A and B are shown apart, each in its own frame.
Chain A
């Protein structure tokens, strides 16, 4: 970390938000180091943007947090109130059950499940219920119905009682599935890619409502207008490290950001 403003000094955020502390985290593929972070805290502010040019390491960092990719070295710790849990020792599903949940840049498609059933799967996970019970026992299904309906009513799925058809619908489903897990910290990897502008706005509104209820968001997004308008703080990554942190206006105007995106001739 070289410089910045707006960063919470420690792992525990003011207001009692859970945070993710990253220490000495590295990951290489072959001879290329893609993540090399000495110290970083995520989640201290309600909405944190994670940006950087191609190959900066943003998606890999999110995967390392969720342990869908294994780190070479370093630790990732969830700090929540007085408790600390080393995420870097847990499998992804345990990390999710502790409240750290991630959407995927390329949607994970439960192709054989209807919209309703794929959302029930998330509810079952949250309640530690066995999926077959959720599907087979009508009263269990119905007890979760209202919550699922409250999300589905926000959007116009082409076949709400059937399957998600378009990439946009699958993206939406991915975000809703994650929200049904009631995460403390939601990691979003390009959640609006491929969505029409009006649906993007709806997704951001839905996320804002959840943030107001106490959820934190860390978002990677290629449309920087979303980042500038939505984030409280922005982490700027380049060559595997977060080299700058600050509020959106500070990051947007910073010469290093311009240089890393455009090259040194345009600062």
Chain B
């Protein structure tokens, strides 16, 4: 479904943050784990088309998507839930979801009902401006907006960063449910390895832009994680 082949990228021509990654993601939840500065956000930005590759290629659904503009990547079915600024703060919850549905082929009303079923807390907030929501509610809207675009692959960048423990637990449950009930593949970046590994099928440990390990989530050892995080 998704293949990254020898990809290098960074924010300036002279500095590569991602250094030659090769990996594939199938119909699964794939966790990218690593400490601050490992390159997790950079990698997702590159997949979403927000950052050009220095070299290498990314393929999705049999098509090369590296070099394709972000809006077209979104229309091909890759939804991106950024760590911050994932919603339009001046629009209501409902309008945020509608905007997400602009690139989808399916009926928007039907999908909004599905999102509300997935995140019941949003139903009561549907007419509230997204900029007034709590951190956890904002993350739900951002995830809902990405799902509205009929995503086949969801990129989630540290979706629980800064959330209270209760929200964290709840959000990881939802991530697994999105995958199982909607058949959406998910690439999730996380610093909290334990939580991510509870919902992931496979995981990659990223350290300073390089893959230290790619393995089944259940097989990832504490030693492998500590080596990747340099602790």
Give chain A's interface residues, CB within 8 Å of chain B.
31-32, 53-55, 165-168, 190, 193-194, 222-225, 228, 252, 257-258, 261-266
Contact = CB atoms under 8 A, between A and B. Distances in A.
A167 B208 CA distance: 17
B37 A190 contact: yes
A225 B194 contact: no
B231 interface: yes
B15 A252 contact: no
B215 interface: no
B191 A32 contact: no
A190 B208 CA distance: 13
A266 B161 contact: no
A261 B14 CA distance: 30
B14 A223 contact: no
A262 B225 contact: yes
Nearest to B15: A194
B194 A262 contact: yes
A263 B194 contact: yes
Contacts of A222: 35-38
B181 interface: no
A265 B11 CA distance: 34
Contact of A262 (B11, B37, B222): B222
Task: Among A32, A193, A194, A228, find the residue whose CB has the most chain B CB atoms closer than 10 A.
Answer: A194
A223 B222 CA distance: 19
B167 to A, nearest CB: 13
Interface in B34-49: 35-38
Nearest to B224: A266
Nearest to A221: B37
Interface string B192-225: 1111011000000000100000000000001001
Contacts of B197: 265
Contact of B194 (A54, A168, A194, A264): A264
B193 A224 contact: no
User: Which of B14, B135, B231 gathers most chain A CB within 10 Å?
Assistant: B231
B177 interface: no
Given A266-B222, A266-B225, A53 B36 contact: yes
B162 interface: yes
A155 B107 CA distance: 60
11 contacts: A53-B36, A53-B191, A55-B161, A55-B162, A166-B14, A166-B15, A167-B14, A194-B15, A262-B193, A262-B222, A266-B225
The listed residue with most B CB atoms (<10 A of its CB), out of A53, A190, A262, is A262
Contacts of A190: 37
Contacts of B230: 223-225, 228
A46 B58 CA distance: 46
B110 interface: no
